Amino acid sequence: MRAIEAIKSGSHLLRESKVESHILDSELLLAKILKKSREEILINLDQSLTASEILTFNKFLNRRSKKEPIAYILKEKEFWSKNFFLNNDTLIPRPETELLVEYLLKLYNKKQITILDIGTGSGCIILSILSELKNSTGVAVDISSKALKAAKKNAYNFKVLERVKFYNKSFEAIFNKKFDLIVSNPPYIERKDLKNLSCDIKKFEPLVALDGGNDGLDLIKKVIYKSKYIIKRFGTLALEIGNGQYRKVSKILTDNNFKIKNIIKDNKNNVRCVIAIYGS
Ligand code: GLN
């Protein structure tokens, strides 16, 4: 079988399963198997596939037809122009989170800081920041050891491994350290809303990275309470939050001696991130 036939039959199969991006996905899955870029595949459509490549392609198509996100099948997702390795214990990095990274990099332009990332997952936030702030160091925590493995692998790939420490424990167990910047994209979905998430999220993304408890604010509150003790005076706490949580989160922040410095909205005008300064 040649690449062109594989892509066509793959896309046909995915279309039957109502996968909207069926052509692109078929191309991406094949590119992964042939260890080439999609563009390289498309200019060499006559290349033939071995039996084992066809077998793997069919396995991938089968997973995709069951709506498994392509990022989990490819085990990677582009974020802040870098390819992040993923596994089943990491959330797929989202474009909204890039807004946070963009903001923080402008704020700390070339400065030397210490960063804590709470619930680092694939490490997308802290590693993107550290790879640009070359003199900065950080700590990444996650309760999932499997997620931390992915984050470590990413740190190695992006050449920042020597500037970041990884702890496989709850952030509540961090003492005797003070950070300039604490970032977190904590689980913030209200428990009763979890069942309304789309199938690809509900069935494939790690629940513990999504479930924010009864009001969705369990982890956000814990992060704010704890941050007071491990943030430097005038340090920054940057949180990603869920839709409609801004009012409550800003009250919790101000009640805890944080001052809101800025908010970041998505393209639908929802507040997605809150940036607060401690002790002002
Ligand atoms: N920090 C990671 C991300 O932004 C993981 C977040 C999480 O697991 N809630 O993707």
Mean pLDDT of 110-114: 95
Rounded Cα gap, residues 210 and 190, in angstroms: 9
Is pLDDT of 280 > 80?
no
Residue nearest to atom 1 of ligand 1 (CA): 120
User: Would the CB of 242 count as within 6 Å of ligand 1?
Assistant: no
pLDDT by residue (tens digit) across 136-157?
Answer: 999 999 999 999 999 999 999 9
User: Would the CB of 187 count as within 6 Å of ligand 1?
Assistant: yes
Name which CATH class applies to 3-66. Answer: mainly alpha
pLDDT by residue (tens digit) across 54-103?
Answer: 999 999 999 999 999 999 999 999 999 999 999 999 999 999 999 999 99
Share of the chain above pLDDT 70, in %: 100
CATH code assigned to 88-278: 3.40.50.150
pLDDT by residue (tens digit) across 3-47?
Answer: 999 999 999 999 999 999 999 999 999 999 999 999 999 999 999
Share of the chain above pLDDT 90, in %: 95
When the pLDDT of each residue in the chain is averaged and rounded to a whole number, the result is 96
pLDDT by residue (tens digit) across 156-187?
Answer: 999 999 999 999 999 999 888 899 999 999 99
pLDDT of residue 175: 83
User: Would the CB of 185 count as within 6 Å of ligand 1?
Assistant: yes
193 alpha carbon – ligand 1 mean position (Å): 18
Query: Is residue 186 within 8 Å of 225, Cβ to Cβ?
Result: no
Q: Where in the chain is the domain with CATH 1.10.8?
A: 3-66
Q: Where in the chain is the domain with CATH 3.40.50.150?
A: 88-278
| Rounded alpha-carbon distances, angstroms, from residue 219 to 53, 189, 222 | 44, 10, 5
Rounded Cα gap, residues 213 and 208, in angstroms: 10
